[in-house]
């Protein structure tokens, strides 16, 4: 089927980035969030990010204006149901995602494909709460969406082949590359990445190294562009903890036990860059390690 209109649910960092890339690729995008200020901020963020692309000669000014004109904001959920493709990009909480899909189902067009940008939650379980598990998939973008090239495509047990093929083509049209994953906890990227971050937190917790020495060691010793604790702050410590909990509960293996120090930081509300404190303190001119 042809996809022309895309509905994005959630105007946070991921939803904003997803709206950005789809609008640039020529799709009409309806962006929904329960918070009107969040929607207004998202449009401002997209405009600012596109302006930087223009300044760097990566985007023509007229293309920026055309892309921004394709984005509309929808404070109500119902109008999103008329889209050809819906991408849910809300907070990584399964109960919230089920609630969103339950509210959306009565308003869906017969042909609409439903997807979730979840980074770890079972696609089969999310799909089972809708009226169309055969037209439901995981559509996992990497952060920051306009920069990162990969999209994980995750089929639930009921996902049909036409839905999968349609989304493979959609990924191509937005200039990204698809990687197919089976529906197991955390899929591919986070199944490998987040346990590495959790192990880095254990290394800090056990006193093997400081925040600075651990990040330096992985940047220079493994040629990673960003240290694991710096990366955790960028992702959000609450998101890292949520993924570790999904892995621990879903696979029942003690190697996925979240580090108690990670839990403590989340309990303190030190979630990384978005709260100005995590493994680094971002309130000054330069990030300062908190341990």
Q: What are the catalytic residues?
A: 119, 140, 152, 190
Could you tell me the CA-to-CA distances from 31 to 27, 43, 107, 135 in Å, in that order? 12, 9, 16, 21
Q: How many CA atoms lie within 13 A of 23 on its CB side?
A: 30
User: 243-254 burial, b for 16+ CB within 10 Å, e for fewer?
Assistant: bbbbbbeeeeee
Could you tell me the CA-to-CA distances from 109 to 104, 112, 199 in Å, in that order? 10, 5, 45
CA angle 10, 12, 13 (to 5 degrees): 130
Peptide bond connecting 262 to the previous residue in cis, omega within 30 degrees of 0: no
Longest dimension (CA), the chain: 56
Beta strands 288-289; 280-281: pairing state: antiparallel
């Amino acid at each position: 089927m042809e996809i022309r209109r895309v509905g994005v649910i959630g105007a946070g960092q991921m939803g904003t980035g997803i709206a950005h890339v789809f609008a640039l690729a020529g799709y009409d995008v309806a962006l929904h969030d329960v918070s009107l200020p969040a929607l207004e901020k998202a449009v401002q963020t997209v405009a600012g990010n596109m302006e930087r692309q223009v300044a760097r000669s990566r985007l023509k000014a007229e293309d920026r204006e055309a892309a921004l004109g394709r984005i509309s904001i929808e404070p109500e959920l119902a109008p999103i149901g008329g889209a050809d493709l819906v991408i849910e990009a809300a907070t990584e909480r399964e109960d919230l995602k089920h609630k969103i899909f339950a509210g959306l189902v009565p308003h869906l067009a017969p042909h609409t494909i439903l997807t979730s940008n979840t980074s770890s939650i079972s696609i089969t379980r999310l799909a089972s709460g809708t009226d169309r598990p055969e037209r439901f998939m995981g559509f996992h973008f990497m952060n920051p969406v306009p920069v990162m090239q990969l999209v994980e495509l995750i089929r639930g047990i009921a996902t049909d082949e036409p839905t999968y093929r349609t989304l493979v083509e959609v990924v191509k049209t937005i200039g990204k590359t698809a990687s197919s994953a089976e529906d197991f906890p955390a899929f591919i990227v986070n199944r490998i990445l987040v346990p590495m971050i959790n192990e880095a937190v254990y290394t800090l917790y056990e006193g093997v190294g400081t925040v600075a020495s651990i990040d330096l060691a992985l940047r220079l010793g493994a040629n990673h562009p960003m240290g694991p604790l710096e990366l955790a702050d960028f992702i959000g410590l609450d998101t890292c903890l949520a993924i570790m909990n999904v892995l621990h509960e879903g696979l029942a293996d003690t190697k996925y036990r979240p580090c108690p120090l990670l839990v403590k930081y989340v309990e303190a509300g030190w979630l990384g860059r978005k709260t100005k404190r995590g493994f680094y303190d971002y309130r000054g001119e330069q990030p300062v390690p908190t341990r």
